[in-house]
Chain A
Amino acid sequence: MKKTIRAALIATLPVLTGYLVLGFGFGIILKAAGYGIPFALAMSLLIYAGSMQYVAVGLLTGGASLITAALTALMVNARHLFYGISMLEKYRATGRRKPYLVFALTDETYSLLCGENPDIPSEQRVNYYFLVSLFNHLYWVAGSLAGAVVGTLISFNSEGIDFALTALFLTIFLEQWLTSKKHIPALIGVAVSGLSLLIFGSENFLIPAMLVIALLLCLYKEKSAND
């Protein structure tokens, strides 16, 4: 168990950096919009979706309707459907921890858990999934609380530190690329998302990209099954 805790701490270090900073930024923005600690705590604990929470500040200050809030959440977070689909197998036999694992499946937690950590023995897997999810959640809550509490007092220039999350995704992408023989799914992911970004713009590209990726991957599988 000790080993598992240490492995989870090491694996989540990049997320620690990114979440503290992004959470901190969220706390500051929320506070500046007139919503203090209880709101920061509730949102980071219960919504726990980074980009959505940034968008939510605008919804709060703009006095959006509940329908608008629901539709916005649907659009911004639709990509989580993908994470669920690809973790079906892995989370199947996780017992009483499953609801929390599913709830806490953010971009970053997904990226850490979608591969296997070779240092974790199979009987410790579920503990490892749980700890990685829990640590990330705590970093996010701690960051946003810190932002809401002391936001305006800190003068450290942290501009650009959120690149840590981009770097995390990039290293995981490279790891998958270097250890896998089939590169077509990865290429489909990059090419379709890139094209969709060019066509639909940064606000709207994810959902069309997801649909086309899902379609192409289905076709790709059928084709290789016929080979």
Chain B
Amino acid sequence: MTDYHAWAIIAVIALVTAALRFLPFMVFGDAGKTPAIIEKLSKILPFAIMGMLVVYCLKEISFTSVSGFLPMLIACAVVGVLYVWKRNTLVSIICGTLCYMLLVQLVF
């Protein structure tokens, strides 16, 4: 492939991605012009989105082998228990990530 075409692909992807990010602000951005339903949606969406993102991160889990799900399950449990206990984001993330790395590199 020519460099010219590669740069064109990159430009198209950049434009589409930026358009998706700007679209809601261009359509609903001005105060008072936001439909009530969008206003309400914007307040409860974060809760649903974080749930969706957690599932998105776990999407490659497979239950056909133990190594396909157990490291992820254990590491998520470590993050969850630590967070509920200590309420400290960094501690949870560091311990959970170290635990996951040890599990996938040394155990499974």
Contacts and interface: CB of A to CB of B under 8 A. Distances in A.
A174 interface: yes
Interface of B is mostly: helix
Interface of A is mostly: helix
B52 A47 contact: no
Interface residues of B, number: 67
Contacts of B58: 166
Contacts of B45: 82, 85-86, 185, 217
Contacts, number: 251
Given A73-B12, A167-B92, A160 B105 contact: yes
Given A66-B12, A88-B38, A39 B6 contact: yes
B3 to A, nearest CB: 9
Interface stretch (A124-132, A136-144, A145-153, A206-214): A206-214
Given A103-B18, A167-B96, A173-B51, A85 B40 contact: no
14 contacts: A60-B6, A69-B9, A73-B17, A88-B38, A107-B53, A111-B53, A167-B97, A169-B53, A169-B57, A170-B83, A173-B53, A173-B54, A176-B46, A218-B37
